[in-house]
Amino acid sequence: MGRTLYLPVLVPFARGKLWFARYQPGDALVANRYGIPEPQHRQLVKPCTLDLVLMPLVAFDAAGHRIGMGGGFYDRSFAFLHARRYWRKPTLVGLAYQLQRQRAITPNRWDVPLDAIATETGCHVTRR
C-alpha cells in the first residue's frame, strides 16, 4: 500500500520518551530493557513526524481517555499535542477489545487523549 511502518523504540537521549524506527517484515528485532522487541538497525524519527499511531491500552472511554500500561511513555512522547489546536498530527488510535471500555476515566493533566479506538466491534471516534 506504499506505507512505511515504524515501531516504538526506547532511546537513551530522550529519557522516558519514545522515538520510532522503520520496520519491514523480516528485519531483525532485539529485546529492549523491558523485553519488548525493537528494530535492531535504527533509522529514528521523532513522534511528530508520524501520520498515524496505533497505541496499546488497558482501558478507554468514549472521550478518548485511556489507561496505558503504566510507564507514561506514550503520554510523554505525544505531550506536544496539548499545545496544538488545529494541526493535530499524528492521529492517535487505541487498540482494544470492546470489553475494555469504561463508562468514564478521569484523566490526569498530562494524559494525551486518543482520536479514536479500534475494537473488534468497529472504530469508535472520540467526542473531541
Task: Kindly list the domain boundaries of the chain, sorted by start residue.
Answer: 1-45, 50-128
pLDDT for 43 beyond 90: no
Query: What pLDDT is attached to residue 85?
Result: 74
Cis omega (within 30 of 0) for bond into 39: no
| Secondary structure class of 100 (helix, strand, coil) | helix
In this predicted structure, the answer to whether residue 67 has a pLDDT above a threshold of 90 is yes
Provide the 3-class DSSP secondary structure of residue 58: coil
Residue 128's pLDDT band, with cuts at 50, 70 and 90, is low
- pTM of the complete model: 0.92
Q: 2: how many CB neighbours lie within 10 A of its CB?
A: 3
pLDDT digits (tens, 9 = 90+) for 17-33: 999 999 999 999 999 99
Q: In terms of DSSP H, where are the helices of the chain?
A: 73-77
Asked if the model's pLDDT at residue 41 lies above 80, the reply is: no
Instruction: Compute the distance between CA of residue 124 and CA of residue 22 in angstroms, rounded to an integer.
Output: 28
CATH superfamily of the 50-128 domain: NagB/RpiA/CoA transferase-like (3.40.50.10420)
- What 3-state class would DSSP assign to 119? strand
